[in-house]
Structure 1
């Protein structure tokens, strides 16, 4: 996927998931977490190709796997669980340009149950971007600031987060421009 071979990545994830599923008779939490994470990565790759059928298939199986696991954990450093699936649904629908649906998925996540701050920050950054796409600059800035409070290292160094700050700043209405400028300055985006 990193090399831009999204269709091949989708096919590889699906094939590996099918093989893994057929080998799992009594899966452990580690097994379910790896399997679910593989499905989610496949869905992300499928989103890059715009294959809504593959996305739905992979996300549905990931959701069922999250339910089988029954809790959010960080088994095998995957941060996989029932709450992780809607986080990926946010990202996938946003990639497809469906910002309103992404916000709906974001509202389904119990962020306090996500096991790592990086996952929380990713969800919040995606949600902020969705609000910005909907023209809700005040909400986009608010959610971005929450992401900065939850995981300051993620917001301060991620190029995508800093681009989001610049995008909010560039398009902010007068009513929040000063607050957006102050936040951008605090991150070193502007001086």
Structure 2
């Protein structure tokens, strides 16, 4: 697909057709960013995110440029000490959206990029700044955009609440995060990745509360969705290890069996 797409963009000279080819290239590299990240190739994820940005810029497509900034921002969030650079990319993407006419796509992409900023603040333990940005900016954009999947960002009210859950769990406010998480129906989300993240955050919240049966139930559901992703996710394996270390006799067989399936024991 990459070879065919690159050959098409090089071989197309008519302006409308070339622009469409470049849009397709931007979309392809955007999808590849997610695939490479899930495959554990963060180096390739960064490479294809940059190619998506280049194709979107050559196509002069403002929405796809914003999507490319969103993808690149998430790549940087996966890098050690990449949060500051991710904020810069997100702010630049939001500023570029001023060129786009008002639309649901513009609103959704603005909100998605604001969530990159929220995630970066969360990673840097700037809990209050992240909460303030959610309250003053993101919730309003989510309500305006509604549930959707513009440029595969899954931005909307439900996804925004999942970011709040992640924030509160990381801030050590597991009880507050669980209250918010219990109001989210992740079955409506068109992203298996976001469903995975939700279940993981719920499991971590219950671990913080030492409500181990509930944590184990969410981890087992996590395994059902994607055992392969679970094995590669350090937060998931850490949660399993915590449960195994303090498992009571009634819950130990299930915890041990899960740890064995994941290769932790």
Question: How much does 1:187 deviate?
Answer: 2.2
Among candidates 55, 68, 71, match of residue 144 of structure 2: 68
| Residue equivalent to 1:166 | 241
Task: Supply the distance in 2 between the matched residues of 1:183 and 1:115 (Cα, whole angstroms).
Answer: 27
Q: Deviations over 1:163-188 (max 9, x none)?
A: 22112111222221111001111222
Aligned residue pair count:
187
Structure 2 alignment gaps of length 5 or more: 1-76
Task: Supply the distance in 2 between the matched residues of 1:158 and 1:52 (Cα, whole angstroms).
Answer: 23
* SS in structure 2 at match of 1:71: coil
- Contact map agreement 1:37 1:78 (CA 8 A) in 2: yes
Question: How much does 1:22 deviate?
Answer: 4.5
Task: Supply the distance in 2 between the matched residues of 1:129 and 1:151 (Cα, whole angstroms).
Answer: 17
Among candidates 208, 216, 228, match of residue 153 of structure 1: 228
Per chain length, whose mean CA-contact separation is higher, i.e. which structure has more relative contact order (CA < 8 Å, sep 6+)? Answer: 1
Structure 1 alignment gaps of length 5 or more: none
Task: Supply the distance in 2 between the matched residues of 1:37 and 1:18 (Cα, whole angstroms).
Answer: 9
| Residue equivalent to 2:10 | none
Task: Supply the distance in 2 between the matched residues of 1:103 and 1:24 (Cα, whole angstroms).
Answer: 37
| Residue equivalent to 2:201 | 126
* SS in structure 1 at match of 2:264: coil
Task: Supply the distance in 2 between the matched residues of 1:151 and 1:72 (Cα, whole angstroms).
Answer: 23
Structure 1 runs, 4 residues or longer, greater than 3 Å off: 5-10, 13-18, 20-25
Task: Supply the distance in 1 between the matched residues of 2:252 and 2:204 (Cα, whole angstroms).
Answer: 17
TM value normalised by structure 2? 0.64
